[in-house]
Amino acid sequence: MIVLGKPIGNGDAVRRNKAAVAALLKRLTDEAAIVRQGGGKEAMEKHRKKGKLRARERIQKLIDPASPFLEIGLFTAYGMYREYGGAPSSGTIVGIGRIHGRETVIVANDATVKAGAWFPITCKKNLRAQEIAMENRLPIVYLVDSAGVFLPLQSEIFPDKEHFGRIFRNNAIMSSMGITQIAAIMGPCVAGGAYLPIMSDEAMIVDKTGSVFLAGSHLVKAAIGEEIDNEELGGAEVHSEISGVTDHRMKNDDECLAKIRSIIGKLGKKPPAGFDRSEPKPPRFPITDLQGLIPADRTKPYDTYEILARLLDDSELDEYKEGYGKTLITGYGRIDGWAVGIVANQRSVVKTKTGEMQVGGVIYSDSADKGARFIMNCNQKRIPLVFLQDVTGFMVGSRAEHGGIIKDGAKMVNAVANSVVPKFTIIVGNSYGAGNYAMCGKAYDPRLIVAWPTAQIAVMGGKQASETLLSIKLQQTERGGEAISKEKQTALLKEIQDRYESELDPLFAAARLWVDAIIDPTETREVISRGIEMANHNPDIPQFNPGVIQT
């Protein structure tokens, strides 16, 4: 066991770094405040006049007082669907809250955003919520208040495998897995969406505001000529006293939320997974230092050990193969008392025993080999894995190719893909190319994946990508017999760079749910600890079998 870290001081570089991160965080805070307003003040006022609480108010009343709500996908749909007026948070709020101390997934439609209609990305967000509940065996609560599918985009949400129907399929699968599902109909619940609450274990409906039907009054009249209003068609009295579709009739939102709390509070407990936890200890250095450690100039190296010194309990790391594959740091430590296996890209330039200088943030054959072996060790020991990504990819060039970088990289990807212990991914800086895969990107099922505001996710860095795209464009133009002046080339390069840089923005990734959240670096320990606490609810860890690995 080694103790990491040293004081970072308050020099010019640290002040510049902190100022850069502070600017990024302020932008995120400002944008988040706008997103949390949902459909805006006018829409909120109309919502209140109907006697309904806002979606975020419902969540706060549902979870334990003063307990933290871990929101998933706050920035979902950010900058998307502008031609339709936008869809803040995709019109649905998702997260994990504690109800009587029990971790619970919560999904709440925000009816102030297009009447809670479902956009394509809304469906993806709901599937993510169900995935979290299934992976961690957590109960899930649906607070339903939605007009159904957003019809102008129905072709992008209705028929495919990961579209709307998958949600109801998951309802059935989750029920067979013994996962508690509670639904509250607190507004409209129409068409196919009507199946979601009724496929839950228990469904309640709020009097005068909740309604559920396969077809609303207008469609009923058009289809069969019957004239009836929505309350008579599918209101609380109908479904609680005539059809028997719902189980509980609630006077208002407050009574409904209290009922859900009461039900969740009586759930039986199952044996935990048994991940090791000791008495938590704070790091030896201030966690606020994290905001001063990432260089404002992202091309500059830094020492990842200093990051770990501010994340690990008592700043202690049991390093694995410390003298080998130095561009990847692997080792055992604790975060908030939980035992974890750390896999972190080392961003400083390192020197091998042979005198070779290896570029920080690049995965070489030796580091890939080490990473694969360590990941397999953690699976053998039932230790959750934490990946800290700041990776520009795998090493390229003849020396790397002749040395077998492809098979060594494949070995690490295989180990990550077949890993059965919970994985948590923090994107600290770059997340480029196949490095994203080897370091447990979204495609490799991390239980939680979050980004710092300094993160960038792409196939390659902006400079390389822009120059490559320009080269392709010039070749295409030249084949057509047209010559492009230097001035026009410069302008074209800037246009390409601007577009590509906008896609490197972590908000671009968060909007598409490539990450669950963008967090302040100081929140990292809390997020990892919460994630492992959630994962500990699922004791069903299958046997680790990495399959065929190239040697």
Give the rounded percent of residues in the chain with a pLDDT score beyond 90. 79
Residue 169, domain member (yes or no): yes
**Is residue 380 domain-resident?**
no
Cβ distance 86 to 80 under 8 Å? Answer: yes
Is residue 118 within 8 A of residue 153, CB to CB? The reply is no
Closest alpha carbon to 95 in 105, 103, 87, 86: 105
> Is pLDDT at 456 greater than 80 in this prediction?
yes
Residue 113 lies in a domain: yes
301, part of any domain = no
What is the tally of structural domains in the chain? 2
Whole-angstrom distance, CA of residue 518 vs CA of residue 490: 34
Contact at 8 Å (CB) between 205 and 247? no
For residues 82 and 220, what is the distance between their CA atoms, to the nearest angstrom?
A: 32
Which tens digits make up the pLDDT trace of 122-176?
999 999 999 999 999 999 999 999 988 898 999 999 889 999 899 999 999 999 9
Range of the domain at 81: 36-264
Whether 79 is in a domain gets the answer yes
Residue 27 belongs to a domain? no
Q: Which pLDDT belongs to residue 95?
A: 98
Residue type, 433: G
DSSP, res 230: H
The answer, yes or no, to whether residue 479 has pLDDT greater than 80, is no
> Phi/psi class of residue 81: alpha, beta or left (left: φ > 0; alpha: ψ in -120 to 50)?
left
Cα–Cα distance list, 441 to 20, 124, 416, 470 (Å)? 25, 17, 10, 28
Helix (H) / strand (E) element for 144: namely strand 140-146
The rounded Cα 460 to chain-centroid distance in angstroms is 21
- The per-residue pLDDT for range 76-112, each reduced to its tens digit, is 999 999 999 999 999 999 999 999 999 999 999 999 9
| Rounded Cα gap, residues 191 and 537, in angstroms | 34
- Asked if the structure places residue 115 within a domain, the reply is yes
> Can you tell me the distance from the alpha carbon of 339 to that of 28, in angstroms, rounded to the nearest whole number?
31
Is the pLDDT confidence value at 191 over 90? no
Q: Report the pLDDT averaged over residues 272-291.
A: 97
Per-residue model confidence (pLDDT) at position 87? 97
pLDDT (0 to 100) of residue 217 = 79
Confidence of residue 192 (pLDDT cuts 50, 70, 90): low
What is the DSSP track for 291-338? HHHS-SSTTS---HHHHHHTTSGGGEEEESSTTSSTTEEEEEEEETTE
**Integer CA distances (angstroms), 71 to 164, 185, 500, 507, in order:** 22, 21, 28, 15
Highest mean pLDDT, choosing among 188-192, 236-240, 489-493: 236-240
Assigned domain for 56 exists: yes
Which band of pLDDT confidence, cut at 50, 70 and 90, is reported for residue 401? very high
Query: Of 212, 240, 264, which residue is a domain's last?
Result: 264
Residue 462 has pLDDT above 80, yes or no: no
Residue 463 has pLDDT above 90, yes or no: no
Rounded mean pLDDT of the chain? Answer: 93
Higher pLDDT, 233 or 134: 134
Amino acid 362: pLDDT: 96
- Backbone phi, psi, residue 66, to 5°: 65, 10
**Measured over all CA atoms, what is the biggest interatomic distance in the chain, rounded to whole angstroms?**
85
Query: Which CATH number fits the domain that encloses residue 179?
Result: 3.90.226.10
Q: Cβ of 385: how many Cβ atoms within 10 Å?
A: 24
List, in sequence order, the alpha helices (H) in 77-199: 120-136, 164-176, 195-198
| pLDDT for residue 519 is more than 90 | yes
**How far apart (Å, rounded) are the C-alpha atoms in residues 240 and 220?**
21
- In angstroms, the Cα distances linking 330 to 277, 333, 343, 421 are 20, 10, 5, 16
Q: Is 477 exposed, middle or buried (0-12, 13-18, 19+ CB in 10 A)?
A: middle
